[in-house]
Structure formats: C-alpha cells, structure tokens
Amino acid sequence: MPIQHNVDLQAFNTLALPGRAARYRTIGSTAELAAKSLTEQPRFILGGGSNLVLDGDFDGLVLHMAIPGKRLLGEDSEAWYVEAGAGENWHDFVLWTLDRGWPGLENLSLIPGRVGAAPIQNIGAYGLEVGERLHGLKAWDFEARRIREFTAGDCRFGYRDSLFKQEGWHLTGRMAICTVVFRLPKVWQANIRYADLTQELASQHIAHPAPRDVARAVIAVRQRKLPDPTQLPNSGSFFHNPVVDAVVADALAHKHPTLPRYPQADGRVKLAAGWLIEQAGWKGKDLGPVGMYEKQALVLVNRGGATGSDVKRTMAAVQADVQTRFGVTLTPEPIFL
Ligand code: EPU
C-alpha cells in the first residue's frame, strides 16, 4: 500500500471525531514496516481507534496496523500458545479461540479494538486483564530498525498500563506491535467473581458455566451497560478508576458510605470513577454535543457532530466537578492526537 495524503480519520476512531492525517498508510505485514519512507516524525500507530481522541488534523504519518493472522503456535502439557496479528479484530479473535476449544479470553469478549493495541493499555474487564494471558509479543522498533521480542514479564503490566505506555512509545510511535502470543492454560476454571457476571449467570440459571456461557454473559452485560460505538460513538471508559491511598479512601467512605472501593495488592484502594461522576451529577448530562452516558457515567459519548475540542471541554468540566466534590483527580484513558 502506498502512502496516501490528506486522509479522513473520522471512520477510524470510535468517537467519530473529525480530523485528517497528512500522510497515511495501511500496514499489512511486518516486512512493510522496514521501509525508509516510514521513519518520518511525527508518527502515530493506529489500531482500532477505540482509545483515541482525535483533536483536529494530524500533520504527520499515521500507520494503520492491519497485519492479519491467527494460528496455534504450539502447545505443551499445560497450555496452548496462540498467535494473532496486530490487525485482527479483538472480539473476533476471542470468539475464534473459543470455537477451537482454547478458552481463557472469554471475560474480555466484545472489547472494541484490535489485537495489537490490547497489550499497550493492558485491556481488562470482568476480573481479567490481558497481561494475565499474554505470553509474548513482537514489535518493530523504528529506532533500532529491527524486530524486538518482549516476554510478558518485559511488558511490566499494571492496571491499564504497560512498558509501552511507561516509555511513552504509544505517543511517539517508536514501537509498532506486529504479533502477539497468548498462553491459554489447559486447566480452565470459570472466572465469574465479578458481581455483574455472577448475577447475569444466576439470572440464566447457569450454575456451572462453560467458556461460551461466560462469553455470552459478558456480552449481555456489556450490551446492557455500554453503548455500541457504531450507534453512539464512544471510547469505552473515558477515565481510569482512580487508585488512592487507603487513608484517602477511608476518609471518603466515611463521608460517602456507598462509595465502591476495591483494595489493591499494594495496599492502595481503587475507586469507581463511574460512581464519582454519577454523584457529581454527570450521568446522562451533556455539555454541547458531548456527554456522559445515561447507563454508565464513565463512558463519554459523542451525541453527534462533536470535535476534539468538545470532548476536551466536557472532560475538563467532569474532572473539575469530581475534584471539587471529592478531591479526586480523574485521568483520561484515551490517547489524545
Ligand atoms: N457505577 C455507578 N454509576 C455509574 C457507573 C458505575 O455508581 O454510572 C458504580 C457501579 O455500580 C459499580 C462501580 O461503579 O459499583 C463499577 O462499575 P462497573 O462494574 O460498571 O465498572 P467500571 O469500574 O465502571 C471497569 C472498566 C471497564 C470494564 C468494567 C468491567 C476501567 C476504567 N473500566 O469499569 O473497562 O468493562 O470495569 O470489568 O477500569 C474500558 O476500559 O473501556 C472498560 C469498559
């Protein structure tokens, strides 16, 4: 694919924000990344555009990762090792693994986006993070001009965090993830401790769910709570759930007894940003064309015709109100381009 000029990116971001790329190229294979013409800066590596706020035109090069491929790389007595190209649709890949009898990713069903972006912010839902199933990955390093291999340990996964974010590579476009290998253990146990999931399965009278049942339950919960980006443009959770010191959480809970709190392994406490936003009066409230979703206050939605500036205005207003009311700082999940 040659480099294209002045390409409209609105269809390539799930918030459907307007903006054009000065230069744009679809990447269909790892080998294409070695081309000298792709070394220009600024450069942005685009996946499914489901974690992106496009703030107007981008005067640089956008590389749209479309590397295909799904295959069983190998297996041992304990696990299957399954490889996927960065350009594969995440949800289709999850369903494909389940079809083949390799469970382990079902809790991450229906997450928008492509495989290559999943490790960058360590996508997670319903009690599972992708880092827990990742075996390793290969990425093209634009500076070293070679493929680099990363093990799961190298990736330094945290809550919505990884080496790729810690090094700022997701902003500088230094590293393009090409293929990802997942380790799917052969001993499978349903991970259904998340309250919404437990309730959904109970309502369907499923006491001993199979992997497919868990996937179906996750899909049902997501469809009930989260807007379909093709119907109502959004980028999923817009803010991280803030993680605060235990003393801060205790003081807040004292004042607000219904505040949901999730103790973390390091002694700190994760708070529910959706709850804070709802209590601050933003659930179902709009500022211009951008608001917070009526069924899940953590999801910012484009009601139609919004620009990146509109998104930033609503974001700042929500942050200010939550800060004033609870003294808690909300940080956005998406990347701003
Ligand atoms: N809540 C409210 N009001 C709201 C929304 C939520 O009070 O409007 C309360 C809920 O009642 C619950 C708590 O907040 O007590 C947590 O809500 P929920 O279970 O819906 O999950 P979340 O913390 O809002 C996180 C992830 C989601 C993931 C779900 C399920 C983040 C930033 N978000 O949302 O991930 O699907 O848990 O595991 O961690 C995403 O990152 O894009 C995403 C959708």
Q: Give 307-316 pLDDT, tens digit per residue.
A: 999 999 999 9
Residue 333 bears catalytic tag: yes
Q: Select which of 160, 183, 216, 222 is catalytic.
A: 160
Q: pLDDT tier at 1 (50, 70, 90 boundaries)?
A: confident
pLDDT mean over 33-52: 96
What is the atom index within ligand 1 of the atom nearest the CA of 225? Answer: 20
Tell me, yes or no, if the pTM score tops 0.85: yes
Q: Give 166-206 pLDDT, tens digit per residue.
A: 999 999 999 999 999 999 999 999 999 999 999 999 999 99
b (16+ CB within 10 A) / e for 187-206: eeebebebebbeebbeeeeb
Token readout for 214 is 């868990």
Spell out which residues line ligand 1, taking CB within 6 angstroms: 125-126, 194, 196, 225, 236-237, 240-241, 260, 272, 274-275, 278, 283, 296-298, 333
* DSSP code per residue over 247-290: HHHHHHHHH-TT--EEE-TTS-EEE-HHHHHHHTT-BT-EETTE
Q: Give 101-121 pLDDT, tens digit per residue.
A: 999 999 999 999 999 999 999
pLDDT at 97 over 90: yes
Q: pLDDT tier at 245 (50, 70, 90 boundaries)?
A: very high
pLDDT mean over 238-262: 97
Q: Where are the beta strands (DSSP E) in the chain?
A: 4-8, 20-27, 43-46, 52-53, 58-65, 70-75, 79-85, 124-125, 128-129, 134-141, 146-151, 175-185, 234-237, 243-244, 261-263, 269-271, 286-287, 290-292, 299-302, 335-336
Q: Give 144-153 pLDDT, tens digit per residue.
A: 999 999 999 9
Report d(CA 243, CA 163) in Å as an integer. 19
